[in-house]
Amino acid sequence: MNVIGLDTNILIEEPKSIYAFPDDLVVIPRVVLNELDGLKESIKTDVRRNARRSSWILDAVTEANEDDFENEYMVMENGGLLMIDGQKHDPIDPTDPNKPDNIIISTLVAYAKTGDFEKVTLYSNDVNVRVMTRAEAKTYKLRNLKSRAYALVDKSLSDIESGVTEIFLSSADMVRTRANKYIDMKLDFVNGEHIILTDETNLKHQILAQYDAVMNKVVALPDYSKGEPILKAVDGDAIRPIDARQTFMAHDILNTEKDLHFILSRVAGAGKSYLTTVCALKLLKDQDYDRLIVIKPMTEVGNEKTGFLPGTKEEKLAPWFDSFKDIMTEITVDGQDTMLADLGARIELEVVTHMRGRSIPNTIIYIDESQNFSEETLKTIITRLGKYSKLILSGDLSQIDNPRLDSDTTGLRVWAERARNVNHGYGNSTYILLDTNFRSDLSAWASSFYE
């Protein structure tokens, strides 16, 4: 077993770093907790937030182990071990033994000196702490003592469920499924799971389908790549899904029996906003709903500030809804064709603060960039839905601009996972993860560095 020591700066940058070493013993010197406590009042929002989050995570682990007095170490949910070390160790600098950095280093030196561990590594993003640790290793000839910087990688983006499962069938079953439009099959899936049925003898022969958990059937879906398009742009171009996942997404939204939709991506340019807008316009055009309300978070990107914006509500909202207007322009040429003239009065641009207290029937509510909304904020919106309404939540988990959220804690992912839960999920919801950048070669190249 190896020992992993974490400096305070690691927990401030990545509160969940204690879970990054499932096969090791993670040691947190008690002085680190004191430093976290002091940073809870930091003037820097991200430091203050992550200090509290780190404390909450450690609180949960220690509470889960508080009745276990048999084991020296605490067991974490990922199988790793945790030790909060408050012992007095031989100081590395007798002239300043109470300096937090010196206490942290001396704690890891003590573990290395026991000889019980193959490797003892202190992770710190303070270069001087790393230098001093290596100096101590030289002084005491501790070959097992190392110090490294911590590479911050958001691994939570790699474990997002896709909402799509591939199932291989015989050629005969594929023929029957295509003819009957379904195949009887009992699966351990949530209702609405997207299925790609593939001929085991010809991998190019596929049927897009969806699981009906009530009837225990896999039901074939309309192929929007053929036949009538979803819409036609004013220049006559047919607007269709580009790939299987976009086809699943379009079918979900156009299904009026479904009223809650989660559309996630982890790359830019996956077509979420464009295809959602197209499908919503078709539903309005077909008189399935009375109106469309588009909501976006008023969140600045990075440190860029918009500042005070004068004017009416529509004028104040304009900067955040330019992307929606760009889509309308692309579909309708300057947004002024006959279809939009008919539908314009039925489309509203709104902010979350104006949604509280409302009850909204027979309406499509589309929340774009919902990765920037908290769990509580999305609850406010979800509970506003009235009869015969449809809520669409879309967002890119790799582009979260709200400093209080990450790809695990964003309300979009929290509510999506709740709705997909096999035991207490919401049966009239749909879920899909889009994974391909269709915007441009340049956009796809830039996005690849964050996948």
* Per-residue pLDDT tens digits of the chain, which is 451 residues long: 899 999 999 999 888 899 889 889 999 999 999 999 999 988 887 788 889 889 999 999 999 999 999 889 999 988 899 999 999 999 999 899 999 999 999 999 999 999 999 999 999 999 999 999 999 999 999 999 999 998 765 556 667 888 999 999 999 999 999 999 999 999 988 889 999 999 999 988 999 999 998 999 999 998 777 767 888 776 667 888 988 999 999 999 999 999 999 999 988 888 898 899 999 989 998 999 999 998 888 654 333 333 444 455 555 555 555 667 677 777 764 444 455 555 666 888 877 666 766 778 999 999 999 999 999 889 988 988 889 999 999 999 988 888 778 888 899 999 999 998 877 889 899 999 998 888 777 776 666 654 4
CA angle 328, 331, 336 (to 5 degrees): 65
Q: Which domains are seen in the chain, by residue range?
A: 3-153 (3.40.50.1010), 157-221 (2.30.130), 230-450 (3.40.50.300)
**Region class of 172: left (phi > 0), else alpha (psi between -120 and 50), else beta:** alpha
Q: Looking at residue 302, what is its pLDDT?
A: 39
Six-digit token string for 446: 């830039």
Q: Looking at residue 179, what is its pLDDT?
A: 96
Taking the CA atoms of residue 376, residue 382, residue 383 and residue 389 in that order, the dihedral angle to the nearest 10 degrees is: 170
β-pair type (120-123, 3-6): parallel
How crowded is residue 402: how many other Cβ atoms within 10 Å of its Cβ? 18
Q: Which among 393, 316, 380, 390 is positioned nearest to 349, based on CA atoms?
A: 316
Q: Which among 204, 203, 205, 250 is positioned nearest to 225, based on CA atoms?
A: 250
CA angle 328, 340, 386 (to 5 degrees): 90
For residue 361, what are the contacts with CB-CB under 8 A and spacing of at least 6? 386, 387, 388, 389
Per-residue CA distances from 384 to 292, 299, 410 (Å): 14, 22, 20
Six-digit token string for 372: 């920037």
Hey, is 253 helix, strand or coil? helix
Model confidence pTM above 0.85: no
Six-digit token string for 344: 């314009």
For residue 325, what are the contacts with CB-CB under 8 A and spacing of at least 6? 335
**Region class of 307: left (phi > 0), else alpha (psi between -120 and 50), else beta:** left
Q: Which among 355, 340, 353, 349 is positioned nearest to 312, based on CA atoms?
A: 349
Helix, strand, coil % over all residues of the chain, rounded to 5: 40, 20, 40
Is residue 368 within 8 A of residue 394, CB to CB? The reply is yes
Cα atoms in the Cβ-side hemisphere of radius 13 Å centred on 436: 7
**What is d(CA 177, CA 182) in angstroms, rounded to the nearest whole number?**
5
How crowded is residue 386: how many other Cβ atoms within 10 Å of its Cβ? 11
Is residue 217 within 8 A of residue 182, CB to CB? The reply is yes
**What is d(CA 8, CA 108) in angstroms, rounded to the nearest whole number?**
14
Residue 69: phi, psi to the nearest 5? -105, 5
How crowded is residue 264: how many other Cβ atoms within 10 Å of its Cβ? 27
Is residue 317 within 8 A of residue 348, CB to CB? The reply is no
β-pair type (291-295, 363-367): parallel
Q: Which neighbouring-strand residues pair with 365?
A: 293, 391
Output DSSP code: residue 228. S
CA 95 to chain centre: 48
**What is d(CA 371, CA 413) in angstroms, rounded to the nearest whole number?**
8
Q: Looking at residue 305, what is its pLDDT?
A: 38
Q: Which among 372, 370, 380, 369 is positioned nearest to 403, based on CA atoms?
A: 372
For residue 28, what are the contacts with CB-CB under 8 A and spacing of at least 6? 5, 6, 11, 18, 58, 82, 83, 84, 85
Hey, is 448 helix, strand or coil? helix
Residue 299: phi, psi to the nearest 5? -115, 125
Q: Inter-axis angle of helices 100-114 and 30-39, to 10 degrees? A: 150
**What is d(CA 174, CA 198) in angstroms, rounded to the nearest whole number?**
8
Give the chain's radius of gyration (CA, Å).
27
